Amino acid sequence: MPKAPDQCKAMKFSPCFGMRFGGSQLDINVAIHPELAVLPSPSGSVPVGNPYMCNNECDASTPELAHPPELMFDFEGRHPSTFWQSATWKDYPKPLQVNITLSWSKTIELTDNIVITFESGRPDQMILEKSLDYGRTWQPYQYYATDCLDAFHMDPKSVKDLSQHTVLEIICTEEYSTGYMTNSKIIHFEIKDRFAFFAGPWLRNMASLYGQLDTTKKLRDFFTVTDLRIRLLRPAVGEVFVDELHLARYFYAISDIKVHGRCKCNLHATVCVYDNSKLTCECEHNTTGPDCGKCKKNYQGRPWSPGSYLPIPKGTANTCIPSISSIGNCECFGHSNRCSYIDLLNTVICVSCKHNTRGQHCELCRLGYFRNASAQLDDENVCIANVCDNELLHCQNGGTCHNNVRCLCPAAYTGILCEKLRCEEAGSCGSDSGQGASLQGPRALLLLLPPLLLTALLATASPLGF
């Protein structure tokens, strides 16, 4: 089960160009249309270099003599190369055209040149196409021709003619056609040359490229595919006119197609694995979907966004945060209605706690404030400043100050400052001959009477009492 190389894990949000596709049949689905590899023996075909090139002895129905599409993706490095070969032009009505479609069933970001190695001559006309929607629609990626003007009514161009501003232009190139470099068997789609417009000729300034990819969706999309299609439109003829009498000379043969890329996971995964033979991002940061393209259920606390290359080199994860409503732990006891997700702790905390509270759930008192033991956690007065001190003697009705935090009240009194009768709080004052009631009368009266009257009263009372 292929995985991204280890360095990708270390470079969590930095691009990790490493995964290679095209190395095995698991990587890719290949479709050839039409099935031109079903060969009767192409009598009269001319061997070109490779001694296994079909010459009176190819037969698609015999494994030893067949040249099926898989041979474009097998391990190379042997001599001679293994290859897929089409039927010849003689065996197929004009024009001899073949589509080779590569499908990953997954969005892929290309990271290096696409390289196609021909065992036949390179085709006179070919279009490389791409799809971003699993093969529903196709766009040209690059045109290849011996004569661009004649074949596609396009002026020939090389990637080197492009610039940062024109890098997305679709060009027709004559660089890889028969006759240009007769010894070469290779066709490129130049990813690295295009990267170099941003990262410099030796790709040393990749930060600049990542910055551009981060901010320019069109540029990101340009290097992204779900499928590739190689449309072989006209085989190598090598001459101006087709030799109608020897059409068996003309065919396509490809020994290797290399596509380097990595899964597109929107920088929310460092690993892409095969799950039931299908490439799948191992999504992190509370994301999900084939490309980690959305937030997981219950993690929609803010809109999804892709991870970012910026700031270089660490990037930004842009983690999906829990939905406040769904997690149920934005519980602030009524002292705040706002929570925030702390990435580092993977937890939700209340922000802007009011009423002198603090803490994850506003369940603690701010410095200099004390828990009001007689109030519930959701009471606005749950945290109070110094209740009493020795100078001001705030405690009433004979209460005494304890550690500045609370008044120790006489049995009949309660409240922060012992200001309430206990029976009052219980609603039982007057219903029994409570101690509180009998005490309250004279004391209240004494407080209300003006001092002079009080003196008189006491003076009068004295003789009466004795």
The per-residue DSSP string of 44-68 comes to T----S-TTS-SS---TTSGGG---
Minimum distance between the CB of residue 74 and Ca ion, rounded to whole angstroms? Answer: 5
Closest CA to 100 of 86, 120, 81: 86
Residue 214-253 contact track with Ca ion, rule CB under 5 A, x = bound:
----------------------------------------
Closest by Cα among 374, 407, 384, 95 to 252: 95
| Nearer Cβ to Ca ion (255/356) | 255
- Rank residues 22 and 235 by Cβ distance to Ca ion and give the closer one: 22
Of 69 and 238, CB closest to Ca ion: 69
Q: In the range 336-375, which residues lie near Ca ion by CB under 5 A?
A: none
| Structure tokens given for 433 | 């001959």
Distance CA 176, CA 146 (A): 8
User: Of all residues in this chain, which one has the CB nearest to Ca ion in the complex?
Assistant: 82
| Nearest residue (CB) to Ca ion, 4 versus 37 | 37
CB of 130 to Ca ion, least distance (A): 23
Least distance from Ca ion to the Cβ atom of residue 81, Å: 5
Least separation in angstroms between CB 71 and Ca ion: 5
x/- mask, Ca ion, residues 76-95, rule CB under 5 A, reads ------x-------------
Return all residues near 26 (Cβ < 8 A) that are at least 6 apart: 2, 274, 277
Q: How far is the CB of 4 from Ca ion (least distance, A)?
A: 25
What are the helix (H) ranges across 14-155? 148-152
- Residues 167-196 touching Ca ion, rule: CB under 5 A, are none
Which residue lies nearer to Ca ion by CB, 52 or 141? 52
Q: Which of 31, 39, 47, 123 is nearest to 85 (CA)?
A: 39
CB of residue 116 vs Ca ion: minimum separation in angstroms? 11
Residue 232 or 409: the one with the smaller Cβ distance to Ca ion is 232
Does residue 412 sit in helix, strand or coil? coil
What is the C-alpha to C-alpha distance for residues 336 and 154, in angstroms, rounded to an integer? 66
Q: Which is nearer to Ca ion, 15 or 69 (CB)?
A: 69
Q: C-beta of 205: minimal distance to Ca ion in Å?
A: 36
Residue 34, preceding peptide bond in cis (omega within 30° of 0)? yes
**Cα dihedral value 192, 193, 199, 203, nearest 10:** 60
Query: Count residues contacting Ca ion (CB under 5 A)?
Result: 5
Three-class DSSP category at 326: helix
Task: Output the 3-class SS for 192-213.
Answer: HHHHHHHHCCCCCCHHHHHHHH
Q: Interface with Ca ion includes 255 (CB under 5 A)?
A: yes
What does the binding site for Ca ion look like in residue numbers (CB under 5 A)?
A: 71, 74, 82, 255-256
